[in-house]
Amino acid sequence: MTQSVTTHLNDVDIGSVASLAQKIQEEPHVADTKWQAEVKWKGGFRSEANIRDFDASKSDEPNQLGGTNTGPNPVEQVLGALGNCLAVGYAANATAAGITINDMTINVSGDLDLHTFLGLTDGNAGFSGIQVSVDIDSDATPEALQALHDKVTNTSPVGHTLNRAVPVTIDLA
């Protein structure tokens, strides 16, 4: 049994990540993973996403879009997913590089035109653009932070998903 060593830098267990990377090098098929969520409708525009063994993640629309504002809406969750994915990437890669992060804030926003969503026109119902601003408080050099930034933006699973066309199949059961 492999025992992971917790690295206290940035509160990241880099030993677990290193063990997984080593296992994937030895057994490449281990890298092929599948993630899933089950969403249950709760009436109106409310729903809950059940993921693994966590409490359900609520979703709703704001009042001006006909919801009851009991949770973030799906497009806000996409923005949050990107920001959370980047935060993981910065923490993991900073730790691997020996960079201490004192504080980090990632602001994510997206431009969305509601015409198509509301059925008023045909076109793109999704974001026309997403902007991200990353503020890292660290004693690392600007060059080290830029290298960290480049690595994270080039390896973010959610960033890659949003930056390219991904086949989506939606079946009615």
CB 59 within 8 A of CB 77: yes
Q: What is the mean pLDDT of the chain?
A: 94
pLDDT single digits (tens) 99-152: 999 999 999 999 999 999 999 999 999 999 999 999 999 999 999 999 999 999
CA–CA separation, 20 and 23 (whole Å): 5
Give me the residue spans of the domains in the chain: 1-32, 35-72, 73-173
For residue 52, the one-letter residue type is: R
**What pLDDT was estimated at residue 8?**
72
**What pLDDT was estimated at residue 98?**
93
Q: How far is residue 84 from each of residues 46, 62, 105, measured CA to CA in Å?
A: 23, 22, 10
Average the pLDDT over 76-89 and give the result: 98
**What pLDDT was estimated at residue 5?**
46
Q: Positive or negative CA dihedral for 96, 100, 103, 105?
A: negative
pLDDT single digits (tens) 1-14: 444 444 578 999 88
Alpha helices in 35-169 (DSSP H): 74-97, 142-155, 157-163
In CATH, which of 3.40.50.620, 3.40.50.300, 3.30.300.20, 1.10.3720.10 is domain 73-173? 3.30.300.20
CB 169 within 8 A of CB 130: no
